Amino acid sequence: MIELIRRGLGDIKPYEPGRPIELVEKELGITEAIKLASNESPYGPFPQVIEAMKKSLAAVNRYPDGGSTFLKEKIADKLGVSASTVVVGQGSNELLRLLANVLLNPGDEAVMANPSFIVYPTVVKLMLGKIVEVPLKDHRHDLEAMAGSITEKTKIVFICNPNNPTGTIVKKDEVDRFMESIPENVAVVFDEAYSELVRDDSYPNGMDYINGKSPVVVLRTFSKVHGLAGLRIGYGVAPEFIVEAINKVREPFNVTSVGQAGAICSLDCDTEVEERSRLNSEGLAYLYKEFDRLGLNYVPSHANFVLVNIGIDDREASNMLMKKGVIVRSGGIFGYPNRLRVTVGTPEENKRFIKELEYILKISVV
């Protein structure tokens, strides 16, 4: 009966999400586990956002606004674009799939870095597209090699900036050169899920390229610094012809009314976003200091996670940490054995992670 399943799916591995806190606690019979595995915000939604969502609850007997009209207008105003170029989805994950749905014919190619966000290969395979992976260079996108991998079959280039799982960025002058060098009929997708956390002047804003010669899509999300991952809401800015195509195939009510209300309010929280970005960079600085003390190499990050080389088996280490109530990602999933990808938590969570990491490193020494 397997032949009933669509061609191409056999090749796709299910997404392996970070394990939920409640599940880990139940399975291991522990309490007060902390999750530093999915690059979520360790803080809740902003208080005023919770209020806005509460208010919207009384009307959930109605379907949401299928066009996310007010949210799209708010995003458009904030970014200085027309609302007709904005698209909202169930997280940027859904928008990645929709982009593949509307852009890729079987055999079309999509260029991406490797390792990078693991959803890109999945959405390309789903459409029977061809994945063209370009190895990272010094943990960063090699934009020159990526441009060199473009053929007449290339439809999409994914630029994950900052890159997940390395936390590295490509710089403005590199992107300028890249955009100059590529053909006009290739869509460039800037996945900027962590953009609000970047505190580096050389970081380019994908929005600066939307009026250039190539079609550009900029994806952002409320799942990270806004602390709304559970709501599943993200957005994109894209040329009208792509937005129109997406509107043909997306679910009619793909974004909940509570999600829309929360996101609209959260877009007004610039001060709070800045404060969280500052806290994140303090958290990174603390982790670096502790990694240095423990003699561990890491990739300096511009996002809310960091890839650290622990010098021992990553699966074993993450299992040991899990038993201690600290949930992190083992690097092997991304092709980085002996590394962990750890999300920046609250100061207390970061301390606890370091304490347990130090303990497991001590007992693992042979």
Ligand X SMILES: Cc1ncc(COP(=O)(O)O)c(C=O)c1O
Residue numbers at the binding site for ligand X (CB under 6 A): 39, 91-93, 117, 160, 164, 191, 193, 221, 223, 229, 234
For ligand X, give the closer residue by CB, 159 or 360.
159
For ligand X, give the closer residue by CB, 154 or 168.
168
Q: What is the DSSP string of 196-243?
A: GG---TTPPPGGGGTTSSS-EEEEEESSSTTS-GGG--EEEE--HHHH
**CA-wise closest residue to 160 among 168, 150, 148:** 168
Least distance to ligand X from the beta carbon of 363, Å?
31
Give the type of residue at 248. K
Q: Which residue is nearest to ligand X (CB)?
A: 91
Least distance to ligand X from the beta carbon of 111, Å?
16
Parallel/antiparallel/unpaired status of strands 187-191 and 154-160? parallel
For ligand X, give the closer residue by CB, 90 or 320.
90
Least distance to ligand X from the beta carbon of 192, Å?
8
Q: What is the DSSP-derived secondary structure letter of residue 309?
A: E
For ligand X, give the closer residue by CB, 129 or 234.
234
Give the helix, strand, coil percentages of the chain, each rounded to 5. Answer: 45, 15, 40
Q: Residue 219: which residues within 8 A CB-CB, separation 6 or more?
A: 92, 95, 96, 189, 190, 191, 192, 193, 234, 235, 236
Helical (H) or strand (E) element with 354: helix 347-364
Write phi, then psi, for 4 (nearest 5 degrees). Answer: -70, -25
Q: Determine the Cα–Cα distance for residues 318 and 328; give it in Å rounded to an integer.
A: 6
For ligand X, give the closer residue by CB, 17 or 29.
17
For ligand X, give the closer residue by CB, 229 or 321.
229
